[in-house]
Amino acid sequence: MYPITYVTDCFDGNARARLSTRIGALFGQVPTIVAADGPDPESFAALTLLDCLQSLDLLGEDGHPTITLLNIAPRDGIWPNGVPFCFFWYGKHLVASTFNARVLSLVRRELGIDHVQVTDIRTAVTAAGFDTADVEKIADTQFRSLWYLPLLAKWVADGRPVPAVETTVPQVRDGEPVVTVVDNFGNCKLDRRLNLTFGKTLPVAQRNDDGSTTIVDVTCYPHLTAVPRNAPGIVPGSSGNGFTELVIRGASAADAFGLQPGDTALEAVSENVA
């Protein structure tokens, strides 16, 4: 049995119940469902996927194979019924995901996963032997991440042939660093690692209640405990490959600076990008 993690923007109670029951029936165990919520679910999903895969490097231990499912599928009008689904392997670990360039951007940049296997629902379900009525039902449903994505993961995990086209993951151009995740402490995780000079400052954009922005010079520190209590700091964080975090030791940096996922946090720091 595979440990299964499902990161999805369909996370209300009704959706969780259906996803858990269906995956439990298919795999014999229920998944851990992670809500990709907030104003920028794509950036949350991108960092979470990277962190999940990097956590599998167990430093000498021989871990079990895992399955990670990921669904961020806005109906943006580009695809007939939402973006297609794809899969790839990270060592012995399977990822089945929506083919979303931004969601896959960090595993592309940090892990070198630049090609994935993209599937067409009708083609894949027909090849699996479903009758025409069921093929159309699965392809046309609003909840494809319930009816199709778990099937795709099961087929690939079981070694069954799935029609797919190897496709390049589009490269997303990096702009200024943005907040991807605000953790439960209010620390603001950025989408990359910066070349920090400890003791020096970087300019942080603080959003004020009146809609104005104030630039605050925040000192860089080597780790959280070096930041003075109740003071802001910029530190190498726990996500990604030491991705940078804006923190306040003992308080919420997100609240103090008015930041949320998707916001540009730092000003004019391109030369600091590692």
Residues 243 and 149 in one domain: no
In a domain, 88, yes or no: yes
Task: List beta partners, residue 193.
Answer: none
Summarised one tens digit per residue, pLDDT across range 169-209 is 999 988 889 999 999 999 999 999 999 999 999 999 999 98
In a domain, 241, yes or no: yes
Residues 30 and 160 in one domain: yes
Helix axes of 149-157 and 13-27: crossing angle, nearest 10 degrees: 20
In a domain, 173, yes or no: no
Summarised one tens digit per residue, pLDDT across range 19-38 is 999 999 999 999 999 999 88
Token readout for 84 is 């297609």
Please give the Cα distance from 128 to 122 (Å, whole number). Answer: 10
Q: Which range, of 5-9, 40-44, 80-84, 162-166, averages the lowest pLDDT? A: 80-84
Residues 234 and 212 in one domain: yes
Residue-number span of the structural domain to which 32 is assigned: 4-168
Residues 135 and 14 in one domain: yes
Please give the Cα distance from 90 to 63 (Å, whole number). Answer: 13
Flag whether pLDDT at 270 surpasses 50: no
Most distant pair of Cα atoms in the chain: their distance: 66
Q: How far is CA 53 from CA 68, 122, 147, in A?
A: 9, 29, 25
Q: Which pTM value belongs to this model? A: 0.92
In a domain, 174, yes or no: no
Residues 227 and 266 in one domain: yes
Q: What CATH number did the domain enclosing 206 receive?
A: 2.40.30.90
Residues 78 and 11 in one domain: yes
Give 79's pLDDT tier (boundaries 50, 70, 90). Answer: low
Among 168, 190, 221, give the residue marking a domain's end: 168
In the chain, where do the E strands start and end?
Answer: 4-8, 32-35, 67-71, 85-90, 93-98, 115-119, 165-168, 179-182, 188-190, 201-207, 213-219, 232-236, 244-248
Please give the Cα distance from 176 to 173 (Å, whole number). Answer: 10
Please give the Cα distance from 237 to 246 (Å, whole number). Answer: 9
What confidence score (pLDDT) does residue 73 get?
Answer: 75
Residues 220 and 261 in one domain: yes
Summarised one tens digit per residue, pLDDT across range 111-154 is 999 999 999 999 999 999 999 999 999 999 989 999 999 999 99
Share of the chain above pLDDT 70, in %: 93
Residues 105 and 188 in one domain: no
Residues 35 and 145 in one domain: yes
Kindly state the average pLDDT of the residues 44-53.
97
The number of folded domains in the chain is: 2
